[in-house]
Structure 1
Amino acid sequence: MKRGAPVIAAGAAAVVLAAVAACGGGGTTLSEETGGSAAWTWTLPAHFPEPKVPADNPMSAAKVELGRFLFYDPRLSGNGQQSCGSCHLQALAFTDGRATAVGSTGEAHPRAAQHLSNVVYNATLTWANPSLVTLERQMETPLFGERPVEMGVNDANKAAVLQRLREDRGIAGYPARFAAVFAGEAEPVSWANVIKAISAFERSLISGRSRYDRWLAGQATLSDTEQRGMKLFFGEKAECFHCHGSFNFNDQIVHARSRIVETPFHNTGLYNLGGTGAYPEDNRGVFELTARAADMGAFRAPSLRNVEVTAPYMHDGSIATLAEVVATYAAGGRHIATGPHAGDGRANPYKDPLVSRIDLDAQEQADIVAFLKTLTDHDFLTDPNHADPFAQN
């Protein structure tokens, strides 16, 4: 699993792990202040930094709750058939279990729906667009995008969709909620405020109570197999930590105290069409925006939190199991022998230089998979604060 530029050295990783484990069971509670009163309280694990929140969209409990209703409301799509929650299921860490997402009109997306665990800490918000760095900007793509259609809101229906919210008299109670959250605005039910509320809800999706996190806090144990996998994961042999070594198990991190924010994207040797280095059309990574050969097949390394429940894997859902993912990285890429995608990804000329064959036997690969499963946060997957409020009622 060698990928990307080093994030921390293996020795440093061990020091960090020891220091965090020494923190015991403590956590961090932080309140954002609005108008002199506490508007929102972050309850964070001790090893999590304070999240970064835009000044023009501060957190509040009422805004998060409004965003939760909107996130799960199919009336927010053009044809009233699909909600954000249709592609982001809580039990699957807010993925959908599909290889690639399907929009409200039935159109297939070329890429997999990404999970939303700790999305507040992501420096960029899509698989391969370095320019989308806030949830508010990113939200415009699923709402209003036309290639592919996701939520299917467009110029012809956007006023009607908002009118559905203004006329709501059900359990969501949108007119009163919007008026309370966006007090003083002449028309609080607006697309700008819809986006702000959903973004606030998404920022509240903090996942930090996995067995691994509890082990760090001295509250749980890891088996011998899991500890061997952890040593490989953070060590110089498997070197998974190069792209997944942060507290959020990815390499694009932003938080309230960030000074330098790095946003690397990686070609991991999944494809090499005809030996040319090419990736399949509609899935060519950052290259689609820059047209630079070096960006062919470059995608963001996702956080591995809750990775056990987010199958299938990779940007296009083309790998079915965690065991297959680990085996692919151990091989230094993927060799596709036949078919339209035939090619030896191990020889892709644009592949990240650190993606090379790793001598991992079957037991070592199984150990890494076992460790990855300790990153599952079952409390997060069942937290009623993140659940569908319409189903709850």
Structure 2
Amino acid sequence: MASARLPASRRHARALATLVAGVASLLLVACGGGGTQVDDRSLSQGDWTWNLPLSMPLPRVPASNPMSRAKVELGRFLFHDRRLSGNGLQSCGDCHLQRLAFTDGRRTAIGSTGDRHPRNAQGLANVAWNATLTWANPALTDLEQQMLVPLFGTHPVEMGLTNANLPTVLQRLRDEPRYPAMFAAAFPGEADPWTIGHVIRAMASFQRSLVSIDSRYDRWQRGEATLTAVELRGLNLFNSERAECFHCHVGFNFNDQVVHAGTTQARTPFHNTGLYNVDGLGAYPADSLGLITMSAVASDMGKFRAPSLRNVAVTAPYAHDGSVATLEDVLDNYAAGGRFISAGQPHAGDGRLNPYKSDLIPVIQLDAQDKADIVAFLRTLTDDAFLSNPDHANPFDPAASAP
């Protein structure tokens, strides 16, 4: 079953590897209720300070791209600048809207030329702590490397940069009156800071600054807020063996792939949640095969990274392909031990019987009140300050970025 679908997927994986290896040379040119205390800590990187609670470890930051306020601010502008796309019509921020925790509200993302991406746009809250950075590619482990894919990728086209149009794109940036001083401040002493490598380093720095740690749940942990009885029941269920949620959504970032400054060996698990079983033998849709695309291991069919649940109430729709509409639907699928899609519907099959489904997705005995309690708890993870922080905002025309 898996081998019949694999050749096209492996060709795509090789193309992705070629893209990363080929464009990486551009970077080399440029790089030359608990009452938790709050602790202001610094990585001693220029003027940048990480303001984090003691429960949140310092992030891993590459030595080749230390944080600075000037670099983060330049990165914010570039992240939201549509002139950075090949045709000048789309910015990174158009698929990652701040008010939606840097998702886009669509089932799957749409690139600058109209190509529809097979994946749901992931949120960027606390992305600096993610061990891997896409739904199912364990090789993409740092933001600088990962950014080559949306910028230069061709299947699908996202930002649409090519070697041919890159000089034009960089000239557009040179023509922005605010950028010369900003590039000079972000990369002092550089004879020519106008390179795609510097652009990528600035945007990676901005993304690392997207820290979400002030939800009502966080304030409750610090003794600054209360949770209702319903929310507390949901929290207790979430962390129980009965509901099983905490196995894949654990720790300060509510996921199971975390890396930080002190990490010596990162765990990078991927999971098949029984979302599909299109042939009765475990297959997923051709554009959603999962980790098998990279590993060529049959048992990796349908395996994807568990996303962080921070701000999850504003990041619908859900799953790697956006095929789950609401949090309530998510809970229904998990409680059933997978998703059943009836005959006549696209990708029909009984995901509950998928032979590659994770052992962490059994049938769970949750009644309607249990599910409502868990959803109520998940809504406490919304960080309104993060969703409106002016330090992250679109400096151009925010209204133009509506989906």
Alignment of 1:1-393 (within 5 A): 21-22=33-34, 24=35, 26-34=37-45, 38-169=46-177, 173-338=178-343, 339-391=345-397
Secondary structure of 2:397's partner?
helix
For the residues of structure 2 that align with 1:331 and 1:108, how far apart are their CA atoms?
A: 30
Deviations 1:244-269 (A, max 9, x none): 01110000000111123100000000
The CA distance in 2 between the partners of 1:286 and 1:241, in whole Å, is 22
SS in 2 for 1:231: helix
Q: 1:31 Cα shift?
A: 2.0
C-alpha contact (below 8 Å) 1:28/1:44 kept by paired residues:
yes
TM-score with structure 1 setting the length: 0.91
Unaligned segments of structure 1, at least 5 residues: 1-20
For structure 2, the 5+ residue unaligned runs are 1-32
AA aligned to 2:200 is: I
Write the letter of the residue equivalent to 1:73.
D
Partners of 1:353 and 1:308 lie apart in 2 by 26
Partner Cα distance (2:92, 2:398) in 1: 17
The CA deviation at 1:282 is 1.4
SS in 2 for 1:206: coil
CA positional deviation for 1:25: 5.5
* SS, match of residue 28 in structure 1: strand
Q: Which moved more, 1:280-289 or 1:94-103?
A: 280-289
Match of 1:44, SS?
strand
Shift of 1:167: 2.1
- Please give the alpha-carbon distance, in whole angstroms, between the structure 2 residues aligned to 1:112 and 1:267: 16
For 2:36 and 2:297, locate their aligned partners in 1 and report how far apart those are by CA, in whole Å. Answer: 47
Counterpart contact for 1:28–1:42, Cα < 8 Å: no
Q: Note the C-alpha offset of 1:392.
A: 7.7
Shift of 1:26: 2.7
Structure 1 residue 28: Cα displacement: 2.0
Could you say what the CA RMSD is over the residues aligned between the two structures, in angstroms? 1.2
Structure 1: distance between partners of 2:64 and 2:301:
36
Matched to 2:374, the amino acid is: I
Secondary structure of the 1:390 match is coil
Q: Secondary structure at the match of 2:199?
A: helix
1:306-356 deviation digits (Å, cap 9, x = unpaired): 000000000000010000001100000000012341110000011111211
Confirm or deny: 8 A CA contact 2:36 2:55 kept in the other structure. Answer: no
Counterpart AA for 1:31: S
TM-score normalised to structure 2 length:
0.89
What are the Cα deviations for residues 259-291 of structure 1, in whole angstroms up to 9, with x where unaligned? 231000000000001202000011110111122
Following the alignment from structure 1 to structure 2, what is the Cα–Cα distance between the partners of residues 313 and 205?
A: 21
Q: Does the 8 A contact of 2:244 with 2:360 survive in 1? A: no
Question: Is the contact made by 1:243 and 1:301 (CA closer than 8 Å) also made in structure 2?
Answer: yes
CA contact (8 A) 2:174 2:194 kept: yes
2:41 aligned partner, one-letter code: L
Rounded Cα–Cα distance in structure 2 between residues aligned with 1:106 and 1:340: 23
CA distance in 2, matches of 1:344, 1:391: 45
Identity of matched residues, %:
63
Specify the code of the residue in structure 2 equivalent to 1:64.
V
Shift of 1:39: 1.9
1:51–1:121 Cα contact (<8 Å) kept: yes
4+ residue runs over 4 A deviation: none
Match of 1:10? none
Counterpart Cα distance in 2 of 1:33 and 1:354? 41
Partners of 1:392 and 1:110 in 2: how far apart?
26
